[in-house]
Structure 1
Amino acid sequence: MKQWKSIASKLIMVIFVGVLFFSVQTNTYAATVGDKLTAPEAGWTRYDDTNPAIVYTDGYDVSYRWVDANLYNGSASPNSNSAIPSTSKGKVRFKFVGTKFRIIAVGGSNRASNVDIYVDGVKDSFTLNNTSTTNNWQTLAYEVLDLKYGVHEIVMNNFVPSVTTNTPFGLDAIDIDDTGYLINTNLSAPVNLSAAAAIEKINLSWTAVTNATSYNVKRSTTTGGPYETIASSVTNATYSDINVTSDVKYYYVVTAVNAAGESISSNEASAIPLGQPVTGNAILTIYLTNGTEKEYDLSMAEVNAFITWYENKQAGTGKASYVIDKHDNNKGPFTSRKDYVIFDKILTFSVDEYSAK
């Protein structure tokens, strides 16, 4: 169980050139459980108790919301015992993407003596009850700082007052690391995200989400993130990332957004942007699982585009087939000739570069 803590000033004794100095220095470490925390610290983002991504269920009646100027944004959910029927005790739940979170609530001698909290299904508990006869406003009541980056689910229930006349939990706010966000569980994640390499840019596309008003595009240079939001309020289901460096592999996810918040992330897609057009050529030989070979005389830009498609498909994203334009072998009265190469029919391939004369 998390216990109340406080940051105390400490006496520092410094000896310098034979002279003895005494000074009082305030501890500047990050806030700990029990501290008053009226604003999120650096690296954190705060979400109010009224955020629609925070769900109150099992009889938790937010119509009893506590309104007071001392609360973050002037409210907490709820204050009265009437909001939590004795038969259900109520539940508060939310999902978020990130590595850490904090619960901001109100402490005092008449606050809940026990709150059960489940972090990804693992039970813990904390107390808001202490000897203070006045409300401890906007108190850091509970925190977890070392989660693996990803999606996490938090459930709180069993809000037990120390005596029946006491007030229960009263969630004031939630802090999450600023590389993450609260998840709007009523909005579907975008699907079929694909990343296509182009010259000095990467083109993204995905399937539009019903009820989404916009999308956030996020990028990382490490698979699995954490991701940085590089574009927000994107209204189309496509985006071109032009702030890229050639030969760097980028990983992308996209989230849907509406008035109730942000969805869980899409599948991850990756690509390596192409540099300026390469003047060289190469013979691309594709060896198929049935023992046959296909040979194409292509520019290096075309070869690199094929390799990018192959690597993306190997990672689980992109189309099942790739179209190769047989422009150097267009025999007969055809306006164009194309080969459709099927990914799961490819055994291996080779690239033999040469200089065109």
Structure 2
Amino acid sequence: MLELSSVTVNYGSEAVISDLDLAIGTRGATITALLGPSGCGKSTLIRAIAGLEPLSSGTITFDGVDLAPIPTHRRDFGVVFQDGQLLPGRSIADNVAYGLRVRRWSKPDIAKRVADLLDLVDLPGLGKRRVAELSGGQQQRVALARALAPRPRLLLLDEPLSALDRQLRDRLALQIAEIIGATGTPTIVVTHDHSEAAMMADRIAVMDGGRIVQDDHPEKLWRAPRSARIAKFIGCTTVVAATISAGVLDSSLGRVRVDLPDGGVRIGLRPEAVIATAIAEGGGGVTGVVRHVASLPEGTRVRLSVADVEVDAVGDPSLRVGDEVSITLDRDRMAIISGADVSSSEPTTSNDRGFDTRGTVGRNA
């Protein structure tokens, strides 16, 4: 168990991490993702855990032992940074074996461990190849094998996939999760990509402003973010106020049945939670006007104007700008926000507070 208590890290007079508490290694959660926007302190926290950044205050313990007096090389933690930091003039086997030689393993044991790790990361028989000859994805798998080789007590991955293209990132995220699952090594992975976090992690700790603002299993995080700010960061492009009465949630965008107590909430809507269809003759309900249409590999996305709210939705390929459409909400894809900001009734969209809006439709509409 890794436990962080009241951890603060300052750069000069600026607190990059402030009074942070977190426990890693709980049962059933081998991989924990640190998810948050750039500049929120994720990488600094990883470096502090590894012993590369001094704490200004607070404690970090592993299995109850304070890590403060233990130097980085004696913590037995494996670290993989964004660029892998491989030795470019060496072979794959030399890179994987580096930590084992430092620990003075015998040559036969090193050879066996390297072969086992290369099998695990799907690079069997390539030990003599130079790392400069490998693709970016292969290099990251070598970096992972090198970090795992000495059987670390904890694995720290700092944005390991951010330099790769989207398709490769998705594939490697699943492969890395499988590799870590096979070794059972407690792992912290830093990412700013909520999809990547969901594919890799058993738990997700959301960081913002140097603090942990929510720490949950992915399913609970997607369905019940604690604030509109968190909801927007994890993919909700629209947040609006709603009320629940007698099992019915009522908002300016429609009504759905829910199994929740009466009261005021806010709902976070990803594009997949809003379905836009041509208005049937005699149809009623909430309507909107199409302002933008984008054809994506996963289907057609539209941006709608509904009263004074801009909404991203999925729609039929036949929809065109200017069409009036009927709106239906999908309860299973909605996020219900019941935190401290519930009382605000102002509708918001994902790009109103500087969040990363990559992939949203109509951002320039």
* Structure-1-length-normalised TM-score: 0.24
Larger Rg: 1
**Bigger relative CO (Cα 8 Å, ≥ 6 apart):** 2
Which structure: greater strand fraction? 1
* Structure-2-length-normalised TM-score: 0.24
Which structure: greater helix fraction? 2
